[in-house]
Amino acid sequence: MESVNLIESFSEFKDIKNIDRATLMSIIEDVFRNMLIKKYGSDKNFDIIVNPDKGDVEIYKNRVIVDDEFAEDSFDYDENKHISYSDAIKIEPDFEIGEEVSEPVKLDDFGRRAVLSVRQNLVQKILELEKNEIYNKYKDKIGDVITAEVYQVWKKEIMLIDDEGNELLLPKTEQIPSDFFKKGDTVKAVVSKVEMKNGTPSIIVSRTSPVFLERLFETEVPEIFDGLITIKKIVREPGERAKVAVESYDDRIDPVGACVGMKGSRIHGIVRELKNENIDVINFTNNPSLLIQRSLSPAKITSIKLDDDSKRAEVFLKPDQISLAIGKGGYNIKLAGKLTGYEIDVFRDTDLDVETEDVDLEEFSDEIESAIIEQLKSIGCDTAKAVLELSDEELTRRTGLDEETIKQVRDVLSAEFEE
């Protein structure tokens, strides 16, 4: 029989990457059954055969042969379900009453408008299903690292294309500050968020997420991948510094050494991927005092006072260790606080002799109000250098002085050493 050829309508979808063959055939059959219901009121006496490989559909209308008298006089006669004997033998002379006649239904029988509607419905349903399949696929990939190609670069985000042609978005906020990508570049990132927006899947990937760093460690360090070493916590200032607390349940394994590798062989690849982000790998411990001490490395601490109720820690260091504890841009102490869960305040160890090249704050009493000097001394800053070693943000937070006052104090103290 002549099949209803719909190559242009749906054969183009037969190799869609995200839809299996059985699902595609089911969609096509449903679309045609809806068309039959609209035209005939029911689809129960119709057979639909989908041939996705050929790109066509065959529709057969099945009717029971009844005698001519029933066809002419009975109110139960339904031309969609019954066919008179005289009409049946025109199709096949050997037919008998009670047998079933199957006739092919031609596409032309439905009319041009119905055919266009079928095509539109088919395209819409397949695209909807494909979007759902993409959504479900990436929903299961949240937390996984993917590699994709840069397709388009915008001011606030970058569009990536995976190996199946799916679109992913890498927002500016999820890029390492020193990242620079152009069309055609290969980008590695972690899937961070997947959601539906107006029926279209939105897949967000990230290079700044701590999970991205965790997955890179799993790739580079077999002991982590195998579960012999556990990553307890990761904190990051993307592109600047990161701290990774690790623990091993096997005393024979040095977790820090395994993560760093021989001469840094394992961690170097991670550092390069993160645009030279400094990574401190720390031995995790349940002892908060020891964990704070390790997290402030490379600074060496003289003593620590903990307040577990307020989660505050007062750390005392030698003058030459304060800048190391705070770190460039304050990142070291900030990340140490996030890693340990304590708000860390750095103090100069007042038991130490004042260095000869330093100047006592009292010497500036003619330029700085005594109340301000006392406020600074109350946080352990009893010399000029002790004040200058702390950032404006740290001084403001700990002393309660306003930014303008801190700036004036810093200008006065800095002038002493410039002279």
Kindly list the distances between the CA atom of residue 354 and the CA atoms of 323, 357, 365, 385, 386, in Å, as whole numbers in the listed order: 17, 8, 18, 10, 10
Q: Cα-atom radius of gyration of the chain, to the nearest Å?
A: 37
Contacts for 80 with CB less than 8 Å, ≥ 6 apart:
40, 41, 42, 45, 61, 63
Answer yes or no: are the C-beta atoms of 347 and 334 closer than 8 Å: no
Query: Domain spans of the chain?
Result: 4-136, 141-208, 361-418
Indicate the residue type of 14. K
Confidence of residue 12 (pLDDT cuts 50, 70, 90): low
Q: What is the mean pLDDT of residues 48-56?
A: 71
Indicate the residue type of 80. N
> What's the pLDDT at 16?
55
> What's the pLDDT at 71?
72
Contacts for 410 with CB less than 8 Å, ≥ 6 apart:
387, 388, 392
Kindly list the distances between the CA atom of residue 92 and the CA atoms of 72, 231, 358, in Å, as whole numbers in the listed order: 21, 78, 115
Residue 326 has, within 13 A of its CA and on its CB side, a CA count of 23
Lowest model confidence (mean pLDDT) among 23-27, 35-39, 390-394: 23-27
Residue 72 has pLDDT above 80, yes or no: no
Q: What is the mean pLDDT of residues 17-39?
A: 76
Q: Percentage of residues in the chain with pLDDT exceeding 70?
A: 91
Upstream peptide bond of 222 is cis (omega within 30 degrees of 0): no
Answer yes or no: are the C-beta atoms of 54 and 161 closer than 8 Å: no
> What's the pLDDT at 352?
47
Lowest model confidence (mean pLDDT) among 50-59, 298-307, 401-410: 50-59
Q: What topology is assigned to 4-136 in CATH? A: N Utilization Substance Protein A; Chain:P; domain 4 (3.30.1480)
> What's the pLDDT at 87?
82
Strand partners, 149: 161, 186
CATH superfamily of the 141-208 domain: Nucleic acid-binding proteins (2.40.50.140)
Kindly list the distances between the CA atom of residue 253 and the CA atoms of 198, 229, 247, 258, 259, in Å, as whole numbers in the listed order: 51, 8, 9, 7, 11
Residue 7 has pLDDT above 60, yes or no: no
Residue 349 has pLDDT above 90, yes or no: no
Q: Percentage of residues in the chain with pLDDT exceeding 90?
A: 43
Spatial distance between the Cα atoms of 257 and 171, rounded to a whole number of angstroms: 35
Spatial distance between the Cα atoms of 25 and 3, rounded to a whole number of angstroms: 16
* pLDDT tens-digit readout, 222-275: 999 999 999 999 999 999 999 999 999 888 899 999 999 998 999 999 999 999
* pLDDT tens-digit readout, 299-310: 989 999 999 899
Q: What is the mean pLDDT of residues 336-352?
A: 85
Instruction: Give, as one character, the DSSP assignment of residue 380.
Output: T
**177 closest CA partner among 236, 233, 116, 113:** 236
Residue 350 has pLDDT above 70, yes or no: no
Outline where DSSP puts E strands in 116-240: 145-153, 157-161, 167-171, 186-197, 200-206, 229-237
> What's the pLDDT at 55?
61
> What's the pLDDT at 116?
75
* pLDDT tens-digit readout, 130-145: 888 899 999 999 999 9
> What's the pLDDT at 222?
94
> What's the pLDDT at 323?
85
